[in-house]
Chain A
Amino acid sequence: MTAAAQPQPSAMDRALLLGRRVLMSEYLILYLCIAMFVGLYLISPTVATPRNITNLLSNMWPLLVIAVGQTFVLIIAGIDLSQGAVVSLASVVGAAFVAQSANPIVFRKSPLWDVMLFQDGAILHDSVLGIPVAILAMLAVGLLIGAFNGVAVAFARIPPFMVTLVTSMFVAALAIYLVKSENIIDLPDEFALIGDDFGFFSIAMVIAIGVAVVAHLVLSRSIFGRWLYGIGNNPRAAVVSGVPVKKVIVATYVFSSFCAAAASIIYTARVQQGRPTLGEPLLLDIIAAVVIGGTSLAGGRGKIIWTVFGVIFLVLLGNALSLLNVPYFYIAIVKGSVILFAALLDVVRRRLALQQV
C-alpha cells in the first residue's frame, strides 16, 4: 500500500526502514548484546578470552533458570519477589544435609545443631543418598514456598506484590535464623561438581538449557501456556471461558519458586557453601533480565527466548562493568539506567507497533 505510493525509496528511506525493522525485531536485545560484546572487545579484548567466556556462561546459567520462573509469573500479571529468599533458604537447607563438617563454636546456637548439623558433619554427610536427598529437599523448599504464594494470591486474593514481599521477608529471615547468620562450609566435592566448568560445558548448563527448553515448550505449545497468556490478558474473561484460573495461578507460583530452588542448587554448588544471604542481591537482576527481554510487567506478553536475551544482556553488562573496573556504586547507577532505557524502549516499540496496524 505505502510501497506503491513511494515507487523509489531513497537511501535515507531505506535506512529508516531498516532501522525500524531492527527496532521492531524480536531479536533487538540480542543485536544489542552483540554490539555490546564487539564494542567491549575493541576497548578491552579480555572479554573474548576463553576464560572470560567461561565466566560469562557460568554466570548466565543460574540466572536463566531463575528468570524463566519469573517470566511465567510476569505473564500472568503477577510478580515474585520471594525468589531471592528461596535461593537463600534452599541453600542453607541443602547444605544442612551434606556438609562434611561443622564448627561447634559457630553453630552451637543454631536450631539445627545436634538435629541436622553435628561436629563430624551434617546428618547425611557420609550417605550415598546425601546429595540426592539434599537436592530434593532444596526443590521441596521451593515447591512449598511457591504453593504458599500461589494459594495466597489465587484463593485469598492478596495482591502478589504483598504476598511475595512478605514471604520474601519471612523466608530470608528463616534462612538466617536457621544458621544464625553463618555459612555452612565444607560441602562435598561431588556437590560442587554441579557448579564446576569443564571448558564451556557444565552441569549447570544442562540444567539451565533443560529448564528453558521445557518452559519454552510449555509456553508455546501447551494448553497451560495459552492459559497463562489468557489470565495475564483478562483474568475475568479467562474464568468465564472455563480456564481453571486458580489452579493455574498456584502452579505458576510453584514453578517460579521451583526455578529459584533449582538455581539455588547451582549457586550453592558454585560457592560450595550453604549461605543464608545467597539470594539477597539477585532480585533486581532477575526482574531486570526478564523485563529487558521484553516481557511485560502488565501481563499477557512474554517469551522464554526474550528472557534468554535479557539474561545474556544483563550478564554481559555486569561483565563489561567489572572489566572496565567501574566502582561498585557506579555499577548500580549504570544498571538502573539500563533498566530505565529498556522500559523506554518497550514504550517506543509498542507505539511503533500500533502505528503499523
Chain B
Amino acid sequence: MTDLILQFQGISKAFFGVPVLKGIDLDVERGTTVGLVGENGAGKSTLMNILGGVVPATAGRMLLNGEIFEPGDPRQADAAGIAFIHQELNLFTNLSIAENFFISDFPTMGRVPLLNRRDLNHRAREYLAMVDLHVSPDMPVERLAPGERQLVEVAKALSLDARIIIFDEPTTSLTARETDRLFELIGRLHEDGKTILYISHILGDVMRLSDAIAVLRDGNLVASGPREEFTIDRMISSMVGRDIGNLYPERSAAPTEDLMLEVRNLSKAGISHQINLKLHKGEVLGVFGLMGSGRSELAQIIFGLEDFDEGEVLINGVAADKLSPTRNIRGGMAFVTENRREEGLMMEATVADNLTIAALPNYTSRIVKRVRNSGLATAVKETVEILTIKVNDAFKNEVKGLSGGNQQKVVLGKWLMTEPSILIIDEPTRGVDVGAKYEIYEIIDQIAARGTAVLFISSEIEELTGMCDRIMVMGQGEVLGTFDRADFDTEAILRTAFREHVA
C-alpha cells in the first residue's frame, strides 16, 4: 500500500493561450525523493510554481494528503508545509541569517512590537545546526558563499516546518564540495521523512538522489517510475524525444599549425602565474580547472577586461602592447563570457540589438557613422536561422523572454557576426538543456572547422574531452599540465587538477 502525500491530477497551464503544461498526472509518495527532469521550457518550473502557489493552474487539481490543495499565493503554500528553494535564491543579502529566517514572522517581546533578538538568534542557531552550518546567525547573508546561502535557504524551509521541499537547480552556482555538502543534507532530510522534489539538468545527480524519476517534455509527462527503471540514456532520450547517439558531434576538421594566439609568461599577482599557451588556427583548446583555478581570469586578461603585471600576449604573432576589448574585437577576437545575464546580454533589448552590438562597426559607413540597417537585418536573419534561435520576431522580442539555451545561442551569434579568428568561450553550456547543448557543440565544431581558433573554458570535464583537440589543466593560477586528444583520460586530468589538494 502506498501513502501518497501529493497528487497532481490533470494539471494544465497556459500563458497567453500558449499551453505550457498539458494535463500532468503525477503521484508522489510520502518520504520519497522525486527527480524531475526535462529540457528548458519543458514545464518543470511551471509545475513547481503551481505547487508553490506562485501561479494558479488553468485546469486540473492537486491533492495534498488526499485533500484538495489550491494555494492562492506562496504564503499559503508555506503554511501547508511546502518549501520552494529557488534557482535564484530568495534571500535578503543585506539582512542577517536570523532576520532572513523570521522575515515573515519576527519573534517579538511579548506584545511589544519590538524584536526579541535573543529569541531570534537562539532559534536561528537551532535551524542552522540542523543543516550543519556553523556560523553566527548575526552574519549578513551577503558574506556567505553561494553554497552556504543554499543551506540557509534549506534551514529557512525547516524553520517553517516544511514537509515537501522543492529544489530547483540547486547546484548551478555551487562548487563540488558545496554540492557534496548539499547532497549529504538532502540525504539527511530524506531519512527524516521529508518529501523532496529535485529538479536538475545534471542527470547523474538526479540518479544519485532520487527514489523515483519523472520526465517532462513539452508540457507532457513522458516517463515516470522508480529510479531502477531508468538509466541516464533513457532519461535523455525521453527528454528530447529521440535517441541522442552521441553527446558530442564528430569533429569535422583537424587543427592546423598556424599560430593565432600565444601567451608568454603571463603573470598577475595573486591571480595568474607564468602562464604559457599556444592556440592554433582551427584548434579547440580546452581549459579545465576547478573553482578558483584562474581559468576565467585568464580569459578576462587575454580579452583585455583585466590588466596583468608581466608577460606578453601575441595575437596573430603581434605582441599587443595594450589589451582592450575594443581593440581585441577589431583584431578578430571574441569572448563568450561565463555570466550571460551580467556580461553577455542586454536582457531588455531585442534579440536583434543583442546580436548586432559587437559587429556594428562592420556595418557602419566611414564618415557619418551611419548604420546600414538593411545589411544588418539580413545578417541578423541569417544568424537566427543558422543557429536556430527560437524567437518569433528577432527585431521585436526581448532576449529576456528566451530560454537559457536560446539566450546562449544569442551570445554565440553576437560573436559569430563579427567573424572572429579567435573565439574564447567560458562555460558555454551552463544552465542549458541537453538538446541545446548538442547544438552549441555543433556550432563550436563548425566555427573551428572554418579556421577559427577556439579557447574552450569549462568545469565540465566530459564536454572538454568530447570537443577539444588539447586540454590545458589549470590550478591556482598556474598551468598544471596539457593533454593531447590521444591521451585524454578523465581521471588523469582530474588528478592533475587536484594536484595541489592531494599533495
Q: Which residues of B contact A355 (CB under 8 A)?
A: 16
CB-defined A-B contacts under 8 Å, sample of 20: A2-B17, A223-B360, A223-B369, A224-B369, A229-B349, A233-B347, A233-B348, A237-B342, A237-B345, A238-B346, A240-B344, A241-B357, A241-B414, A242-B325, A242-B330, A243-B326, A244-B326, A355-B16, A357-B16, A357-B401
Give residues of chain A (340-357) contacting chain B, Cβ–Cβ below 8 Å. 355, 357
Residue of A nearest to B15 (CB): A357
Count, chain A residues at interface, CB 8 A: 26
Decide if B335 is an interface residue (CB 8 Å cutoff).
Answer: yes
Cβ-neighbour of A236 out of B343, B348, B360 (below 8 A): B343
**Cβ of B260 to closest chain A Cβ, rounded Å:** 18
Known: A221-B370, A221-B371. Is A240-B325 also a contact (CB below 8 A)?
yes
Instruction: Name the B residues within 8 Å of A357 (CB-CB).
Output: 16, 397, 401
Complex CA–CA separation, A242 to B331 (angstroms): 11
B:164-202 near A, CB below 8 Å:
none
* B19 interfacial by beta-carbon distance below 8 Å: no
Q: Within 8 Å of chain B (Cβ to Cβ): is A222?
A: yes
**Assembled-state Cα–Cα distance A5/B17 (Å):** 10
Question: Are B342 and A230 in contact, CB atoms less than 8 angstroms apart?
Answer: no
Please state if A243 and B17 are interface contacts (CB–CB under 8 Å): no
| A225: chain B residues within 8 A (beta carbon) | 371
Given A226-B357, A234-B346: A240 and B16 interface contact (C-beta under 8 Å):
no
A1-21 interface (Cβ within 8 A of B): 1-2, 5
Indicate if the CB atoms of B17 and A240 lie closer than 8 Å: no
Given contacts A240-B344, A242-B329, A242-B358, whether A230 and B371 have CB atoms under 8 Å apart is no
The docked-state distance in angstroms from the alpha carbon of A223 to that of B353 is: 12
Instruction: Tell me the A216-269 residues at the B interface (CB within 8 Å).
Output: 221-227, 229-230, 233-234, 236-244
Interface SS, A side:
helix
Q: Which residues of chain A are near B349, meaning CB under 8 Å?
A: 229-230, 233, 300
A234 x B345 contact (CB < 8 A): yes
Query: Nearest residue in B to A221 (C-beta to C-beta)?
Result: B370
> Would you call A230 and B370 a contact (CB within 8 A)?
no
Look across to chain A and name the residue whose beta carbon is closest to the beta carbon of B300: A240
Contacts of A234 in B (CB 8 A): 342, 345-347
Q: Are B346 and A237 in contact (CB under 8 A)?
A: yes
In the complex the two chains form, what is the Cα distance from A242 to B343 in whole Å?
Answer: 12
Smallest Cβ distance from A230 to chain B, in angstroms?
Answer: 5
A236-B342, A241-B358, A243-B357 are contacts. A226–B17 as well, Cβ < 8 Å? no
Identify which of residues 374-408 in chain B touch chain A, using a CB-to-CB cut-off of 8 Å: 397, 401
Known contacts A355-B16, A357-B16; decide if A242 and B326 are in contact (CB<8 Å). Answer: yes
List A contacts of B60 (CB < 8 A).
none
| Chain A CB within 8 A of B337 CB | yes
